[in-house]
Amino acid sequence: MTARIGVVTFPGTLDDQDSLRAVRLAGAEPVSLWHRDKDLKQVDAVVLAGGFSYGDYLRAGAISRFSPVMETIIDQARAGMPVLGICNGFQILTESHLLPGAMLRNNHLHFICREQKLRVETSRTAWTADYTEGQEIQIPLKNMDGRYVADERVLDELEAEGRVAFRYLDFNPNGSLRDIAGITNAAGNVVGLMPHPEHAVEPLIGTGRTDGLGFFTSILKKLVNP
Amino acid sequence: MARVVVDVMLKPEILDPQGQAVQRALPRLGFDGIADVRQGKRFELEVEGPVDEAVLARIHEMAETFLANTVIEDFVVKVES
């Protein structure tokens, strides 16, 4: 049976189609989910895609967190369903307290859009199993509110438990503390990151790199051979 | 109708580049002597009916769960007469 992976569309989501395509290219069945529906259509995992959900009014991800679909996703994620939050999705995951810390305006106050080098710090999550620890990948980054912050105690805890999933290499694009680009929850089913793996899955698009495909093949492998 | 104000500010230890950008612009505009600027948010809530303890408690809850992100922000609730 093919794994069903849902991608949520909020008003203002931009990268849902790219995420659905990435899911399909990895070999899973993409399922569109709508922010006003509580029903997850029996998906096995969920991707919260990038964009500016609800216009990023109040704070990025703050209003989305209270949407009907997120009520169900928060419950399911706590029960172990894999959830990947990309960019705005990462912001929604911190606002939902599924991941610790918070996302703030970039330290230089500019929107940034670039090819970003990352180090994969852990392969022990549902979304990174197809990478090796220490592997360097390059995927696009584009955001306004990408500065990851948390207090020292939380940062130390993340480091000690191996929950810093990705770190920026060569260049910290937004002032994120300890060069953190992405983190995971303790169980490893919830992962959030600022750069966009779904924009690097086809050789004909962008720089031709497909470094992002591993996210989607990782989850597929986990769902098929749990 | 009564007005309740919720002021939200970044916690002191959180870097505020927006406040810094404003502060850096001040001398250029001829406003000297400002050592630091931090930028926050103010919510003005027009409340139907009297503002009693229960209403204030609800507004406090609203501020804590939604208007402010208490991971990075502090807030103050004030009743304006």
Mean pLDDT, residues A20-46 taken together = 97
What is the length of chain B? 81
Q: Are A96 and A65 in contact (CB under 8 A)?
A: yes
From chain B, the residues in CB contact with A109 under 8 A are 17-18, 21
Question: Is residue A226's pLDDT more than 70?
Answer: no
pLDDT in tens, B17-58: 999 999 999 999 999 999 999 999 999 999 999 999 999 999
| Given A29, A35, A71, A87, the catalytic residue | A87
Any A CB within 8 A of B69 CB? yes
Any A CB within 8 A of B17 CB? yes
Task: Measure B81 CA to nearest chain A CA, in Å.
Answer: 26
- Give pLDDT, residue A119: 98
Percent of chain A with pLDDT over 70: 99
Determine whether A113 is an active site residue.
Answer: no
Q: Best interface-test mutation with A: which of B9, B23, B42, B69 has the largest number of A CBs within 10 A?
A: B69
- Sorting pLDDT into bands at 50, 70 and 90, what band is A207? confident
Q: Does the interface predicted TM-score (ipTM) exceed 0.85? A: yes
Cβ-count burial A123-143 (b if 16+ within 10 Å, e if not): bebbbbbbbeeeeebbbbbbb
Beta carbons within 8 Å of A108's beta carbon, 6+ residues apart: A174, A175, B17
Mean pLDDT, residues A125-153 taken together = 97
- Sorting pLDDT into bands at 50, 70 and 90, what band is B1? confident
Q: Are A31 and A43 in contact (CB under 8 A)?
A: yes
pLDDT in tens, A65-81: 999 999 999 999 999 99
Question: Is residue A128's pLDDT more than 90?
Answer: yes
| Cβ–Cβ gap A58/B17 under 8 Å | no
Model pTM greater than 0.90?
yes
Any A CB within 8 A of B34 CB? no
- Give pLDDT, residue B13: 95
Interface of A to B at Cβ within 8 Å reads 58-59, 62, 66, 94-95, 100-102, 104-109, 147, 149-151, 175
pLDDT in tens, B35-46: 999 999 999 999
Percent of chain A with pLDDT over 90: 94
- Sorting pLDDT into bands at 50, 70 and 90, what band is A88? very high
Cβ atoms within 10 A of the Cβ of B18, count? 16
- Sorting pLDDT into bands at 50, 70 and 90, what band is A1? low
| Cβ–Cβ gap A107/B15 under 8 Å | yes
- Give pLDDT, residue A225: 73
Mark out the alpha helices in chain A (DSSP H runs): 16-26, 68-78, 88-95, 152-160, 213-224
- What's the 3-state SS for B7-72? EEEECCCCCCHHHHHHHHHHHHCCCCCCCCCCCCEEEEEEECCCCCHHHHHHHHHHHHHHHCCCCC
- Residue of B17, B69, B71 with shortest CB distance to A105: B17
Cβ atoms within 10 A of the Cβ of A111, count? 11
Mean pLDDT, residues B55-64 taken together = 97
